[in-house]
Amino acid sequence: MNKTTLLSRLAREHGTPLFVVDHDVIRSNYAEFKRFLPRVQAYYAVKANPDPAIVHTLYRSGASFDVASIAEFRLVYENIREMPGRARQDFIWDKVIYSNPIKDQRTLEELDAFKPLVTYDNLEEVRKVRRHAPHAGLALRIRVPNTGSMVELSSKFGASPAEAVDLIAAASDAGLVVEGLSFHVGSQCTNFENYVQALSTSATIVEEAAARGFNLKLLDIGGGFPARYDRHVRPFRELAKIINSELDRLFPKSFEILAEPGRFMIATAATLVAEVIGKAERDGKRCYYINDGIYHTFSGILFDHCQYHVKAFRRGPREISAVFGPTCDALDVISQAEELPDLKIGDLVFSENIGAYSHASSTWFNGFPPAKVFHYRR
């Protein structure tokens, strides 16, 4: 059965809008990551899509997890089994990093019992961790170039390289242990030079820290690994070759290397199926209204700076058309320029590669519910 036939059948059986997650693709993406970056342990960024079934599949594949809220930590903790023969705290250490540099005190107090690995990037956070989670290990997040990334993160998080060793010293003086460094080159990073510069900066800081008596042993190279939304995105193996070369040149084999792929793992693993619920002609352009939109699975258009193409099951001559979501908000515009055939009310359309930062941000705005989720396992 080909993909479009399967999607049509699932939509008839379960209704629309329907968010179809293909777990074979998730496993394939994880395997690709490990094949081309064998030295790097993948900590799936749960925020990309926190569905428990996705967490289960990645855990069984060998992934660890990057969480950025206490809710995400609980989700991982409650939905995966501890490894046989391992103490719970060791299990959490190996399987979870709390990568949000800013944490409220209640979160830290709950995390402390697990002796977690958490990130920080400023002196005030050192004081909070010392007071509320003194058993935590720390990774200092540094600011690195985000040029060319779809979502820039360096203006919100990251210590400047110039203050890095002083912040490591401050944490040590507070009685805390700094295990290593972390960075993030920006989400959907297609400028591979960002990684080269970030790794070089990290190596310099590691050397400076060692000269002052602080021996770091861990580097978290963050996320940003680009999903293949289209043919213009260079293959992952090209980026991996660059990263591997720099890791081997700059860091000894004993150094533990982590990464936080989210989009890379899940973006290409989900497809949305929606239904045409309205049709109009406006200013000479055909307009379609479907039963999913910006406030739901297409939220990535607004929050993630991503454009998802809408495709039709129906064949026929295509023309440039607008596609809108179902709400009464004028913001609910999916696209002003999709090539679509002459569709009828009730026809189905679909959008591929919509697994990351999409359904995870769905709301109930205007009374419209999020899409149903169907987990497809061959």
Residues marked active site are found at: 328
Burial class (CB in 10 A: 0-12, 13-18, 19+), 78: exposed
Strands (E), 221-292: 256-259, 270-282, 285-290
The CA radius of gyration of the chain, in Å to the nearest whole number, is 22
> Cα(164)–Cα(143) distance, rounded to whole angstroms?
10
Among the listed residues 85, 178, 164, 163, the one whose alpha carbon sits nearest the alpha carbon of residue 130? 178
The single residue listed with the structure tokens 């591979």 is: 192
**Two tokens at 170?**
């401050």
CA distances from 229 to 51, 58, 91, 213 (A): 21, 21, 34, 45
> Cα(277)–Cα(288) distance, rounded to whole angstroms?
8
CA 168 from chain centre, in angstroms, equals: 27
